[in-house]
Each structure stands twice: as structure tokens, then as C-alpha cells.
Structure 1
């Protein structure tokens, strides 16, 4: 019986996804990406899922895109296949996504991380972009997202010279938010997801949208966008529930309305 490429389970308000191709270090094939996107969309559409956690195994989060998939595709076939667009669809998810990284996160695996919102790293996590050593370049957003995250010089060294970052370096440079104790990346990511799940879902969706807009908008336009969303969420039932709970010193119950 063929093992599923994606394992999923729901724990309370958190949707957990485990990449399940350990024999290939979770190399991202087209079928695997299709299942991943379908699962993320399923969770994103579920009103009772308020955060998503993605993880791999101890040896690797994902060691890149499947080289076999790339090698068998000509230029036009690859361009029209929608392969790289899977990363865009993950980035478009409204629900906050937390990635828990152990071991290798290389090439397309690192691009998958950068399509997530928060990255939690184990001490042994390794981040890199080896594409130019294969005579290709990143094709799922790395040259754009990495430059915005790390700055020009370090992004250039990683892409052009194949430099890999340790977990400590990645945290220092702002690629990951925190480093856990060994073996605790997933549990820490779940704890972060739980804190997000306790917040108002409309507020988290809008705050995520405003934060992501800061990559694309000039400062003045971004601030106007933030103010628009802030005014919009003020009309929600969730806002009233939050203020009422604050006044009564109780925990608010949010319904995403």
C-alpha cells in the first residue's frame, strides 16, 4: 500500500500537516504539492481552524523540489504546469501558517518556509538554496522573498555561492522567529499556533494581510491600508466580544463575525 504524501490531523482549532516522503527527504513532487495545497485550502475554508502547522521529519523539513520532476519537464511544460504556482497558493492562505523545521530546508523546501508566516527552528535546522550548483535558479519565490528578509548581500551569497545558514544564523538574520530545544520544534510551533487560535480570527486574518502588504506597498499606502482594516474590524462582533471580555475580566469567545 502506498504511503500518503501528506499526513493531516486536527487538534482543536489547529490543523497540522506533516510532509510524508521521508525516504526522499520530503522532496516536493507535483502530486505532493497538489495534496499540500488542497489540505491548506481545506483548513483555510474551515471556520473552526484558526492556525495551521506544517512540519517534516527529524532529518528534513523538505530538501527541495523533486529533481526528477524538474528534469523531465521542458521549458514550456514547466512554465505552463503550475508547478511553481503551488507556493503562491500556499502564501495566499488567510489562516496563519507556522512551520516547524528540523534538519534540511533546502531549495523549494526553503521557499515553502518563506510562504509560511512564522518559522520555528530546531537547533539542527539547515537552510540553503543549491539551485545554481545544478545549473538552474530558484523558481518559487526565493530570489524575491529572501532578499526582502535577509537583505541583498546575504541573499546573493546564499543563491550565488550556495551558502547555508545554521539555525542560529537564520534566527539572527530574521529568517526564523525562534530556536527550540532539540526535538521541540513541533511542540513549540503547536504552542504558538494555540496562542494564535485564542485570538480573534478576523483580527488575525486582517493583521496578517496588513503585515504582508508591507512587502509590496510604500509606507504611506501601507499605513492607509492598515487603518482601513482597523476600521473594518471595529464593526465586527468579535471586537465587541473582546471589549466585553476585557471589561468583565473573562476570556473572550470569538466566532469570526
Structure 2
């Protein structure tokens, strides 16, 4: 894949997307959002990819959206290229997505992290939704996803004040799964990514669907969905391999079939 604002590598079933706009501290413009959307869609169709990692170039994850672009946007532009739509596609990605937050994750950068399934930050990471300082609100899913992850009261405080928090407070709030020294960030990320990559791709996909729906579905609907997805998995070769491997006291080799 050849992109202007992204650098993509694939190794051992793990695809790494690196946001690359060093001159803008990886702030996202229309082209970079479009490229990110295209990259995630393509990686979801690649059988050689089981986990997607998103990080930023050098010491910044994503510093936000390109302010000049926001300044020039008109009301109906929100119905053209919408950051919200790109991030919803990441949230619904068939492959698990891990955010490796190596520095500032602000505005759209924080919303990008929120759209990922697992968020791991370096001890130098800073996160926040400072859009209120620009006279706008977080419209890439921030008002919805942040609330679901850290609770309404704290989400209101962060969004209404525009405050930026450090990695340790973010972990305390549940916004980050892990915080590690900067030099060990990718080591921790790949430790988790490799563990997920050894599991059944079909089971991972079905589990993600059920988990994503759990925050909005009522208990009866959620349990019905869970049961139907399990019925699908009962008919897969991966289920047969997983149970057979357990009985034979060996590690399973899942093929995603």
C-alpha cells in the first residue's frame, strides 16, 4: 500500500499504521483521514493481517486535526468527509485495533484512540479533547465514546474544560489499558498484538461484534446476539481445532476457517 501520510508495515500477522505528517505533528487533514480509512478497510480484507496497530511518527500520536482545515470548513462540509465516519469504521473493524500512543493524542487524535479496541500509552503521552477552545465540540465520536469509557461526569469535565491529562491519570480513568516507559511502548504493544494474533480470527471477530454491541444493547438483545454468534462459531474449523488441541494438550493452530 502506497500512501502519502501513512507508513504501513506487516509482519507476523500484525499490521502497523504509522501516521506520518512530521511537519504538522501528525495533525490530520482530509487526505490523511481518507488514507487512514482506506488503509483500515484494505487491511480488514487481508488474510495475512489479524491485528492492526496505529501509532504516530516520532514523539506524537496525533496532535489533532489540522486547524487551518477546521477554520475553512463550512456547515455542510461535515456531511462530506466526516471524521466521525472514518473513526466508526475503525471502531467496527473486523480486526482488533490497538492504539500505541507515543505522545500527544488531542482532539481527533484522542478520538482516534477512543475508536481503537485497546489503548497503550507511553509515560509521556498526553490526552484530551480541547475542541471547546476552538468554539467547537468533539464530533469524531468524542462526546459518545469518551462517556462510555470513563463515565459521564468525568467526560463532561474534560470536554467542557478542554483540559489535557497525562498518561497516568488517563489510565486511572480507564482511558488507557497500560502505561509503560516510552522506550518500551512498542514492545508492550506487540506483546499484546502477538497474543491476539495467535487466537482464532473468526472468534476474535465475533467477540468484537458482541462486545461493541454490549454498551448499547439491552441484556436480552445482547444475550441473543451472543448466542447466535456462538452458534456460528460452533460450525467452524477453528472451533474443532481449538477443542481438539486442548484435548491433545498442544497449542492450537487457527486458520480462520
TM over 0.5: yes
Q: Deviations over 1:23-65 (max 9, x none)?
A: 2111011111111111111111011211011111342100111
Structure-1 separation of matches of 2:169 and 2:127: 9
Match in the other structure for 2:135: 135
Q: Deviations over 1:172-210 (max 9, x none)?
A: 111111111222212211111110000000000011111
Q: Deviations over 1:87-140 (max 9, x none)?
A: 122222110000100110000000001111000010011110110111111111
Match in the other structure for 1:198: 198
Structure-2 separation of matches of 1:149 and 1:106: 16
Q: Structure 1: any 5+ residue segments left out of the alignment? A: none
Match in the other structure for 2:8: 8
Q: Structure 2: any 5+ residue segments left out of the alignment? A: none
Structure-1 separation of matches of 2:82 and 2:213: 24
Match in the other structure for 1:37: 37
The answer (yes or no) to whether the contact 1:15–1:53 under 8 Å persists in 2 is yes
In the TM superposition, 1:60-209 aligns within 5 A as 60-209=60-209
The answer (yes or no) to whether the contact 1:95–1:205 under 8 Å persists in 2 is yes
User: What is the Cα-based RMSD across aligned positions, in Å?
Assistant: 1.3
Structure-1 separation of matches of 2:81 and 2:93: 21
Q: How many residues align?
A: 255
What displacement does 1:81 show? Answer: 3.4
Structure-2 separation of matches of 1:20 and 1:144: 27
The answer (yes or no) to whether the contact 2:61–2:103 under 8 Å persists in 1 is yes
TM-score normalised by length of structure 2: 0.95
The answer (yes or no) to whether the contact 1:105–1:127 under 8 Å persists in 2 is yes
Structure-1 separation of matches of 2:58 and 2:170: 18
Q: 1:199 to 1:32 in 2, by over 3 A?
A: same
